[in-house]
Every structure is written in C-alpha cells, then in structure tokens.
Structure 1
Amino acid sequence: MKDKFTYNTEMAQTYETNARISIPTYDALFGMVQSYFRTEISGEDASVLVIGAGGGKELSTWGPANPEWTFTGVDISEEMLKIAQHKTNQLGMSHRVNLIHGTINDLPIADEAFDAASCILVLHFIDNVQEKLELLRSIHAHMKPGAPFVLVSAYGDRDATELKDRLNVWRSFWLDAGKPPAVVNEMVNTGIMKISFLPEKQIEGLLRESGFTHITKFFVTGLFGGWMCHAGGTDGLDIECDV
C-alpha cells in the first residue's frame, strides 16, 4: 500500500532524535500513557483520539500492542502527518487509523465519543490562554464521560528560579549530546523560550475548567510535565472543588 503522503526519511529521523535529546524519557512516556489507558479502558475495544498525531509515536507505540484499538489522529502539520502515515502503513494499521490534517474542529461528526484521548507536546505551541482552554474543552466534548485523558506540555513560571534551574538541565541534555554551547544558547533564545509556558497550577486549572476531574501529575522530565485525568460527566456531579 502506498503512503498517502510522500515520506521524508531525514525529517523523521531528525524529529525522533531531537525528541529523545530534549526529553530523555521520551519513549518511556508513551509506555506510561499506554499502561494508564489500559487500566482505565473497560474491555479491549477502544477508540483513541490523538491530538498532535504527526510523528506517529502514539500510533507506533500503542497500536501494535493493542490490536483492538482504533485511532483518530489530528495534526496541523502535513509534513508531520507524512511520518505518521508512513509508520501506520509500515505497521499494517491503516484499516484502524484515521489521520486528519487540521485541528480538532475538523473532526467528522460522529455518533460515538472517544474512549480515551491524548494531547502530548502540543499545548505549549498555543500562545493564547483562551485558545488553550478552547482546545481542552473541545477534546473533553469528544470524549465519553469518565474516559481517560493525558496532557503533556512544557510548564513553569517564567519569572521563577525553578524554571531557570530546569532550563539549565534541559540545556545540559543538548550539551551532553554534542551540541556546541553557542548553538544550544541560540536554541534557548530563539526556540524553547519562544513557546508558551504556564505555571503548573494554571494548567491544572484549565483542565478543571474544561471539565476534567481526578487530575494527577504523573510525569516530569526537564521542562515538560504530564497530567492524567478523566472526562467529567455532563451533569456536574463529577466536578472537583478546591478546598
């Protein structure tokens, strides 16, 4: 079966290499999410929504080990979707993967909501806080009540020493990988510090405001954190209260 898109081998290799430098626990992260989904999904069949599916890491990790799962992946980058499409074809999973070039608003209207959803390394590329909230609300609207959701994003208070210390750790990842100091400094100034950081409590607040409950931080590496939670019901009975 031919790829839906032309596959760029060099781009794919560069993306995965850089991801593993920036997040040394990159591969373990996706295994952790799979374990969480498996414990939370009732029955073997499951429909999984993947926001930011370009690159195909979710598909290549979760797909082969869970042959009864189906996936709907969304990404605004056509180039990244080429990588996901290639991996899908290589794994023989095309019959249970639907890749959509666009945003969550481009999802087809369906009668059934998703059994699980993920948004990994996407939220920090959205600058506007209201747009972040709208994305999380849209994800929640496409999920079954009680379904598990995982969010992974860069986080931190730009003015806090804590973020500066973690930034130094992130910088060391790249130096240890052989990048010259001048190049790493440029990556910090024109790259990583251009993304949208929010304090941990604000991210958790956005999740609650979007309708998610039982919010638990489960992952931290360098500049990035991960939260697992559930889609709350529509009757308001599942909404958490701060005390």
Structure 2
Amino acid sequence: MTEELAFNSKHTIAYEANARNSIPTYDMLFSMIQSYFRVQLGEKEASLLVVGAGGGNELSAWGPSNPKWAFTGVDPSKDMLQMAMHKSVQLGLEDRVKLIQGTVSDIPLTDSKFDAASCILVLHFIKDVQQKLELLRTIKDKLKPGAPFVLVTAYGDPAEAELQDRINVWKSFFFDVGYDASKLDEMGKMIMNISFIPEQQIEQLLQEAGFTNSTRFYSTGLFAGWICHAE
C-alpha cells in the first residue's frame, strides 16, 4: 500500500468508525437495503447507482454476494474514491465497479438507465432544500421506470424539542464507546451543522422528485431511511 493510500485508509477508517458510533445499526442498515434490492431485482443482472460511494461500504456489503450486480459510484472526494477502488480490488469486484469523481450530473449520458439506486448519508450535507430536490430529481432521471431507490439521511425539525431529545440520545452513543463526557455538548452543537429537515418534508421532496410509494423502513438516533420507486 502506498503512503498516500495508507493516509487515505486511516481517514476512511476514522470516518467509518465515526459512522458506526453515530449509527449503532450501521452494518445492519446495509443488510436491510440489500434485502430490499434483492426482492425488487430478483435474479436478473442489474446495474446499481451508488450516490456517495466514497469509502466503498456499499460495494463491500453488496458486491461479493450479488455477482450479477454492477455498480456505478459517484462521490466528490478523490481520497474516499481511492479507498472504494482499493476495496473493490481486494474483493475482486473491479470488473463490476465504475467510480466517478463528481456528482450524479457528471455521469455520462447513455441510452441505458440504472435498475436501482442508493443515496446513503449524503442528503443532509446539502444545506439548500432546492438543491436537495435537484439531487433527488437527477437520481430519478437516471433510473428506469419502477426502479427501487433507497434514501438514508438525518431528519428532524430543528425548532422542535423532539430533535434535541434525539441528539441527547445520539451523544450517549459516543459516551458509551468511551468518548470524554466534557466533549459531548460540543459534539451536540457541531451536529447541527448538517441540514435537518422534518420527515414530512423529506417525503414531500421524494414525491416532487418523481418517486412513488415512499415508506420509512429504518430509524436509528438521528437518521432514517426510506424506500420508494421511480415513476
């Protein structure tokens, strides 16, 4: 492993550890999504769009046990994409993986569209609601009619006490794994830098973007997941 890749590996490991602290059911989440896609896609060959593919967790979770699935992953981070490619090579998936540095809009136009897509822990990093909608619309436009889509993002109304109660629970996740209690209040303030919007607004955005039959299937702490289909 090169020095640069070793540095990136440490960064990715730290990111993944933080994600597992934030979401204690992090690994089970990927298993649940895999089950959903398997039910929807059956035994056919399928192309999956992975939005926010840096780090390669979707590839690691779904690639080895689904040999008929091919993946196109997009992520703006070059460092994270390097780790995603490293994982795909380690797992022997490189022939089924295409990685693009950028956004969904940077995917080359082709005659074929994707059979399924995921957008996991990405939407809450977009502050502007209209830009959130534009991302969801762009994803929908890349999908075949009826294709399954999974969205996982932070949710909640910043003006409501309910969100603060969940933030207090979220802070306890970190306390339980050994974080210094004196740092937890600062972490609680920092988490508000991501974009929280109410669950109802997320479902409205999915509908406006062209997705149907939206159902919340997952919730842990500050994050929730929805399954739906492209019109």
TM tier relative to shorter chain: over 0.9
What's the TM-score once normalised by structure 2's chain length? 0.96
- Aligned twin of 1:228: 227
Q: Secondary structure at the match of 2:19?
A: helix
- Aligned twin of 1:200: 199
Report the number of matched residues.
Answer: 229
- Aligned twin of 2:157: 157
The runs of 5 or more residues in structure 1 that have no matched partner are 233-243
Do 2:168 and 2:188's aligned partners in 1 also have CA atoms closer than 8 Å?
no
- Superposed displacement of residue 42, structure 1: 4.1
Task: Within 5 Å, give how 1:92-131 maps onto structure 2.
Answer: 92-131=92-131
Partner letter of residue 213 of structure 2?
A: H
Question: What root-mean-square deviation, in Å, do the aligned CA atoms of Structure 1 and Structure 2 show?
Answer: 1.3
Give structure 1 regions of 4+ aligned residues with deviation exceeding 3 angstroms. Answer: none
- Aligned twin of 1:239: none
- Aligned twin of 2:66: 66
How far apart, CA to CA, are the structure 2 residues paired with 1:146 and 1:218? 18
Partner letter of residue 74 of structure 1?
A: V
Higher helix share: 2
User: What does the per-residue CA deviation read over 1:61-101, in whole Å, with 9 as the maximum and x for residues that have no partner?
Assistant: 00001011000000011111122111111001111100000
Partner letter of residue 104 of structure 1?
A: V
- Superposed displacement of residue 110, structure 1: 1.2
Task: Within 5 Å, give how 1:1-243 maps onto structure 2.
Answer: 6-7=5-6, 8-189=8-189, 191-232=190-231
- Superposed displacement of residue 9, structure 1: 2.5
* Percent sequence identity over aligned pairs: 59
How far apart, CA to CA, are the structure 1 residues paired with 2:187 and 2:77? 21
